[in-house]
Structure 1
Amino acid sequence: MCGIVGAIAQRNITPILLEGLRRLEYRGYDSAGVAVMTAARQIQRVRATGKVAELEEALRTDPATGAMGIAHTRWATHGKPAERNAHPHVSDGLAIVHNGIIENHSALRSRLSDMGYMFTSETDTEVVAHLIAAHYRQSGSVLTAFRAALKELHGAYALALVHEDEPDTLYCARMGSPLVIGVGCEEHYLASDPLALLQVTDRFRYLEEGDHAQLTCDGCSIWDARDQIVERPVQQYEHAALSMDKGEYRHYMLKEIFEQPQAIADTLTGTLGDNHVLTAILGPDAESRLADVRHIHIVACGTSFHAGLVARYWIESQVGLPCQVEVASEYRYRTVVVPDNTLLITISQSGETADTLAALRFARNEGYLATLAICNVAGSSLVREADWRLLTHAGPEIGVASTKAFTTQLVALLWLTTALLQVRGKAPEQVARNVSALRSLPGVIGEALTLEPAITRLAERFANKHHALFLGRGPHYPIAMEGALKLKEISYIHAEAYAAGELKHGPLALVDEDMPVVSVAPSDSLLEKLKSNLEEVRARGGQLITFACESIKQDGDQPDTIALPQVDEVISPVLYTIPLQLLSYHVALVKGTDVDKPRNLAKSVTVE
């Protein structure tokens, strides 16, 4: 993901910009650059491909010093990694940096070319630079030109702008991509992530959707999307909340469970339009080639494998493409038949999982249309080696048992399902419905987390148990598998998951009064079938624990049922993951195990 840093002060800000870029290196990038307003009131731009270290070396050769400037790390979307495509981009005395996707860049490029503007890059960002310059020719006001250009942009963006005619003013705007303003002593800063600025300030104004701002050493003016002046309060950065510290939580795992609303929101940032998804974020040429995909292969391990299984239901039911999901450790050692135009998707939290990485490397010579990595670590081997990448933004996950990494993987996979549907130009109503459902997820997950007290009480029932069954149907069968995995990982209770319809084909023999049976029962087309399966358990004295949209009414004794919010069916697998995570956590507490570091397991499996 791209990173933005900017500063205006009464000292040389180049070291601030470079340190900010270094602090954003975790996002992953392929080039970097700065644009500094010199004492001569001219913009000096220095860019380099590769790491920030290469940019620093370029600055030693061509020093750039000044009291105002902007900087950027770029992950290629429009245009391959090359210095000509690196930010900042310039036009007629101005320079800009940009995160996000400008969807209507082609039409704007054509119009600006007709006006005589020459393009030296393949990026959508250079289009924005020329567009602002064109409006400045007409108005003679940087603020007026900036506003006029913003109103023409469709898509997602965070922008920072400097202009030689206003050498003491820094401009910025956000729509769909994050941007914060740092407040110093007679200094102001901006960044796409507050972490980039913690070396100079811990006070921030958080811009909201559609905001644009004007920064000087002395002050900060912010306007909303209607050009109305607004006040965004200064907030102290809560270091503990986003650090490696557990904070108020007893374990990292619980902290990470409760971080999921924010992690999901961060993963979706900059990926959604009004009623569509922004497909260009996948990387160079992905948007045009997605329409050519005719088959999907998903390869992953453990929890990530379960995410892939859920995605198979989404992809086949909505897009109509055949989807095959395999465990990476098996995939890499068999003869694989790859139909024409098959997309390979690899999923990994760390991006260093040995089997998944080996599977990606194995696949290079198997004739795939393209490879896509879904991963939480931008600079990981998996992300670097795949053709395309879709980053989750779960942040550091310390607990061995994956929680927020899993739900953000599901979010990324639903986004990808929607992209595959969208590029085919069919079912726009389903695309819009998916986008709406994705937007609702952070709030819905927040509601589910309020169920923790009730789940804590249920966990007591596992104190003396050694076995458990988990049941689900449809896309909730993989969620049941994930619930069983979580329970066995951290409580050491033997747990297995079954498609509920398979009970009568063997597992029912295990059910008695000493066997907890956990079921996932959303209100969907399979609910009545599931009720029949639960009756089979109840008739044999099994201890039913049911997570349902509404109470399942049965004759005789009622099972223990916890009701979850009613949501769109497409996102219910994400929602129903939450109570299973909480259940496994609290059962582990009852059992007295090491929740964050369960025996025999490692966070990142980097060996075969």
Structure 2
Amino acid sequence: MCGIIGYSGVENSVPKLIEGLKALEYRGYDSAGIAVFTESGISVIKAKGRIANIEKILDTEYQNLESVCGIGHTRWATHGEPSDRNSHPHGTDRIRLVHNGIIENYIQLKKELSACDYSFESDTDTEIAAKLVDLNYKTSEDPLQAIKTSVEKLYGSYALGIIFDKYPGKIYAARKDSPLIVAISDKGNFIASDIPAVLKYTNRYYQLEQGEIAVVEKDKVTVYDECGSLIKKDIMTADWDVRAAEKCGYEHFMLKEIYEEPLAIVNTIRPRINDGLPCLDLPGLTDDTIKAFKRINIVACGTAMHAGFIGRTAIERLARIPVKVEIASEFRYKNPILDKDDLVIIMSQSGETADSLAALRLSKEHGAHTLAIVNVAGSSIAREADSTLYTWAGPEIAVASTKAYTVQISLMYLIAAKFALCHGKITDDEARQYLHALIEQTPVAVENALKLSDRCIQISEKISGAEHLFYIGRGIDYDIAQEASLKLKEISYIHSESYAAGEMKHGTISLITEGVPVIAICTQDHLVEKMISNIKEVKARGAYVIVICKENTHMDKEVADEVLKIPVLSDLFMPIPAITVLQLVAYHTSVIRGCDVDKPRNLAKSVTVE
């Protein structure tokens, strides 16, 4: 949610700030702005809407604007409506500030600042933080001291980028519970919310830790801890390149990322198979440790939580260990029962999801072992978990998650095999057969599912005009139905719901009217007959039924209006080719409806506030 970029160097900062903001669009935003040093002071350009609006202002009012240092921001409204005045940067003639996060005590701070004769132009909590820094700067005339004094009074989460009028060429950065990196290049240095913002220029960076303050200049970076002591940081190297954050000929990032799923599965799973057996090789997660776990909690949000549902089925079926899947935003408030015999798996594509991070910290307080499954190296969840498994899917730019979800599922299958072996529920030979199917057959099935794109377009054309749509399934197919429903509503804005097929008659069937589309997922051999009964129930009430089933499943023509047959795997692995075609259906439906596929309204890629 929101994005920060800053540059201090030897080249013009303005195009770098604009390019950086565009690279952060995937995080979601409704307004944008930049602040740069000029001969007359600090110039601020900001506007509601897309970054193109900033470019128009630059072209018409600030032609040939050049500056070697500045900061930029994309805002996703939390306090105050999307508007020019609520856009960042905020501040005064002396300082300008951009902020990600939420300042929880902004009302009290606003009262204190009002008593010091400050007035306010916006409805944001960020302006409060900016003017608090300004107040302390007036008192101390020392930027570092002003920031240190100010952040001590801020309750909540923040990543801050700040410039001061008397210190041209310097950017000050600070963070608490909101991600911020400092990136290093030969022609200057950057601050950014995420590595894709700077990949065009460098893949070397520092990860700012809690309470740290950095001073970024064109030829050096100085970092202080929360006590004000100078510290030395280790430079990290991102293994992504700039092409990974480009469309590479695809119309949208989402489509590109769906087509990257086979390779993402292979990259994530193959290195973790040794002699045909699962090899996690994680500090603190030995075979003996795994044997000691009596319960597993999978805690996540949104799409990652849906991957957790598949993981629950796989682990319980193979390892016979009880698994609960919890919504991260609810988990921390329900006083969970946890102890040292529990494993808590925190799943997050970005590794920065605020609710998931809070759940991780709570789990550690209770003595549970925490295992992170994330896609971003060095992210907060990865650093704070006891053990971390990375999904090597590469950067996922589209807001709606596709390949990260598929790889999360694949990794859960691997974990299930490892736990089943450690608990003596399967033999080595059984594990080898299982993992051979996972790494050899599953990517091929996805490749073949991608060849069904034209058929998916036909289905999308049939449902694109619908106001409401339902997904139904049984068992693991219901788990897939939940993710398919979310994907459709996220990017096409069609109201969509998912239901366990056997529950339809307990109330939901009253919503079935003539012509309402129902997508029935029917990939589990032992549940086909039950599903056909449920399909007939909705068909009898006028539903337009689309069935997703295996190529070798017999489906009479009178059962459904449309049948999409997909590649065959064992039942447990069928969610992967099933979700591939359902992602394609959602994608093409969104395109047909003229929606913004990669940046759907009101959504953010990385939800870094609670």
Give the structure-2-normalised TM-score.
Answer: 0.59
Pairing of 1:112-511 with structure 2 (within 5 A):
242-280=243-281, 282-338=282-338, 341-368=341-368, 370-428=369-427, 429-439=429-439, 440-511=441-512
Indicate the SS of the match to 2:293: coil
Matched, 1:598 2:600: yes
- Pairwise CA distance, 1:361: 0.7
Query: SS at the partner of 2:519?
Result: strand
**Residues of 2 paired with 1:270 and 1:386: CA distance?**
21
Q: 321-330 or 548-557: which moved more? A: 548-557
Q: SS in structure 2 opposite 1:525?
A: helix
Change (3 A) 1:285 1:586: closer
SS at match of 2:600: coil
1:566 maps to 568
2:581 alignment counterpart: 579
Matched residues in 2 for 1:539 and 1:350: separation? 44
Q: What is the identity percentage for the equivalent residue pairs of Structure 1 and Structure 2?
A: 43
Counterpart residue type for residue 262 of structure 2: P
Q: 1:560 to 1:286 in 2, by over 3 A?
A: same
Q: Is the CA contact 1:487–1:495 (under 8 Å) kept in the aligned structure 2? A: yes
Cα deviation digits, residues 156-214 of structure 1 (max 9, x gap): xxxxxxxxxxxxxxxxxxxxxxxxxxxxxxxxxxxxxxxxxx99xxxxxxxxxxxxxxx
Cα separation, 2, equivalents of 1:307 and 1:253: 18
Amino acid in structure 1 at the alignment position of 2:279: L
8 A Cα contact 1:514 1:542, kept in partner: yes
What pairs with 1:507-522 in structure 2 (closer than 5 Å)?
507-522=508-523
Amino acid at match of 1:495: S
What corresponds to 1:545 in structure 2?
546
Report the 3-state secondary structure (helix = DSSP H, G, I; strand = E; otherwise coil) of the residue aligned with 1:269. helix
User: How far apart are the structure 2 equivalents of 1:444 and 1:241?
Assistant: 29
Residue type of the alignment partner of 1:560: E
Provide the C-alpha distance between the structure 2 equivalents of 1:425 and 1:242, rounded to a whole number of angstroms.
Answer: 44
Deviation at 1:434, TM superposition (A): 2.0
Unaligned 5+ runs, structure 2: 1-198, 201-239
1:233-255 deviation line (CA, Å, top 9, x unaligned):
xxxxxx99943221221000000
Aligned mates of 2:241, 2:607 — CA distance in 1? 28
Residue 339 of structure 1: how far off its partner (Å): 5.5
Q: 1:423 to 1:589 in 2, by over 3 A?
A: same
Aligned to 1:73: none
Residue 266 of structure 1 aligns to a residue whose secondary structure is helix
Tell me the secondary structure at the aligned position of residue 409 of structure 1. Answer: helix
1:114-136 C-alpha deviation (Å, 9 max, x unpaired): xxxxxxxxxxxxxxxxxxxxxxx
1:558 CA displacement:
4.2
Does the 8 A contact of 1:294 with 1:340 survive in 2? no
Contact 2:442 2:569 in 1 (8 A): no
Unaligned runs of 5+ in 1: 1-197, 200-238
Letter in 1 for 2:326: E
Report the count of equivalent residues. 371
- C-alpha distance in 1 between matches for 2:364 and 2:301: 19
Change (3 A) 1:274 1:455: same
Classify the secondary structure of the residue corresponding to 2:365: coil
Cα distance, 1:284 vs structure 2: 4.0
- Residues in 2 aligned to 1:595 and 1:555: alpha-carbon distance in whole angstroms: 33
Q: Offset of 1:269 from its aligned partner?
A: 3.0
Sort the Cα spacing of 1:513 and 1:241 in 2 relative to 1 into closer, same or farther, 3 A: farther
Alignment check: 8 A CA contact 1:276 1:422 kept: no
Which residue identity is paired with 1:391? Y
In structure 2, C-alpha distance between the alignment counterparts of 1:287 and 1:407, rounded to whole Å: 26
Deviation at 1:258, TM superposition (A): 0.3
- In the superposition, relative to structure 1, how do residues 558 and 327 fare at CA in structure 2: closer, same or farther (>3 Å)? closer
Of residues 553-562 and 565-574 in structure 1, the stretch that sits farther from structure 2 once superposed is 553-562
How many angstroms does 1:316 deviate by? 1.2
Q: 1:463 to 1:444 in 2, by over 3 A?
A: closer
Alignment of 1:8-157 (within 5 A): none
Deviations 1:324-358 (A, max 9, x none): 11000000111111255110100000000000001
Asked whether the equivalents of residues 434 and 570 of structure 1 are also in contact (C-alpha less than 8 Å), the reply is no
Distance 2:607 2:241 in 1: 28
Do 1:295 and 1:339's aligned partners in 2 also have CA atoms closer than 8 Å?
Answer: no
CA distance 1:475–1:385, change in 2 (3 Å)? same
Distance in 2 of aligned mates of 1:555 and 1:313: 31
- Quote the offset at 1:559 in angstroms: 2.6
Greater shift after overlay, 317-326 or 421-430?
A: 421-430
| Residue 90 of structure 2: aligned partner | none
Structure 1 contact 279–287 (Cα < 8 Å) conserved: no
Alpha-carbon distance, 1:438 to partner: 1.2
Classify the secondary structure of the residue corresponding to 1:448: helix
- Pair 1:317–1:269, CA change in 2 (3 A): closer
Give the superposition deviation at 1:292. Answer: 1.0
Task: Give 1:311 deviation, angstroms.
Answer: 1.1
Q: Secondary structure at the match of 2:436?
A: helix
In 1: Cα distance, 2:559 partner to 2:350 partner: 45
Using the alignment, how far apart are the partners of 2:476 and 2:349 within structure 1? Answer: 21
Q: Which whole-Å CA distance do the structure 2 matches of 1:258 and 1:423 have between them?
A: 34
Give 1:462 shift: 2.0
Checking the alignment, whether the CA contact within 8 Å between 2:278 and 2:418 is kept in structure 1 is yes
- Rounded to whole Å, the distance in 2 between the matches of 1:557 and 1:425 is 43
Task: Say if 1:531 and 1:552, in contact at 8 Å, map to a contact too.
Answer: no
Alignment RMSD (CA, Å): 2.0
Whole-Å Cα distance in 2 between the matches of residues 446 and 484 of structure 1? Answer: 22
Question: How far apart, in 2, do the equivalents of 1:406 and 1:315 lie?
Answer: 17
CA distance in structure 2 between the aligned counterparts of 1:571 and 1:555, rounded to whole angstroms: 26
